[in-house]
Structure 1
């Protein structure tokens, strides 16, 4: 699946829908494998740790918050072994226009709290 194709766009919309749903349920993190299985159930075959997955997660966050004012949806996707997001999330969160501050624990905790708050209200 290549970025910019209709297939990618459909998978991106599915990722956003799944992560919004997770956020509405109290911003409960979802492991990469579970996200991949849910995408496959919806007809989008995206391996959990390779291929398009990192791009889809980044694009989901960027599409939801292009100016950095909203919490990043990709904070919800975690590694099964650690229960933490990958380094890609932290790189995205710290770059412009997001500019999130704090060590990894503080940054991620705040983002999860903001997701729960924002999506509980929507």
Structure 2
């Protein structure tokens, strides 16, 4: 699955929809494997920890918040063992235009809260 292809764009749309739905239900994190399984059920073969997954997650956040004003959807996707996002999330969150402040704990906790507020309207 190559970035820029129809297959990639359709998988990206599916990732965004899954994560928006998660955010609307209170922004409970989803492990990579579970996200991969949901994508497979929708006909998209995206391995949990290789291939296009990191690009899809970054692109989902960028498409949803190109100017950095909205919370990052990829904050919802976590490693099963630690319950934390991968380093890629933190790199994106600290990069312009996002430039989220705080250490990893503060940054991630705040991003999850903002996702719940934005998508649930609480």
TM-score by length of 1: 0.99
Q: What is the count of residue pairs matched by the alignment?
A: 122
Matches within 5 A, 1:2-21: 2-21=2-21
Q: How far apart, in 2, do the equivalents of 1:104 and 1:41 lie? A: 32
Find runs of 4+ consecutive structure 1 residues off by over 3 angstroms: none
Tell me the equivalent position of 1:31: 31
For the aligned residue pairs, the C-alpha RMSD in angstroms reads 0.9
**Residue 121 of structure 1, CA deviation:** 2.3
Q: How far apart, in 2, do the equivalents of 1:55 and 1:118 lie? A: 23
> Please, which runs of 5 or more residues in structure 1 have no aligned partner?
none
Tell me the equivalent position of 1:70: 70
Tell me the equivalent position of 2:80: 80
Tell me the equivalent position of 1:52: 52
Q: How far apart, in 1, do the equivalents of 2:94 and 2:120 lie? A: 25
TM-score by length of 2: 0.99
Tell me the equivalent position of 1:61: 61
Q: How far apart, in 1, do the equivalents of 2:99 and 2:26 lie? A: 24
Matches within 5 A, 1:69-108: 69-108=69-108
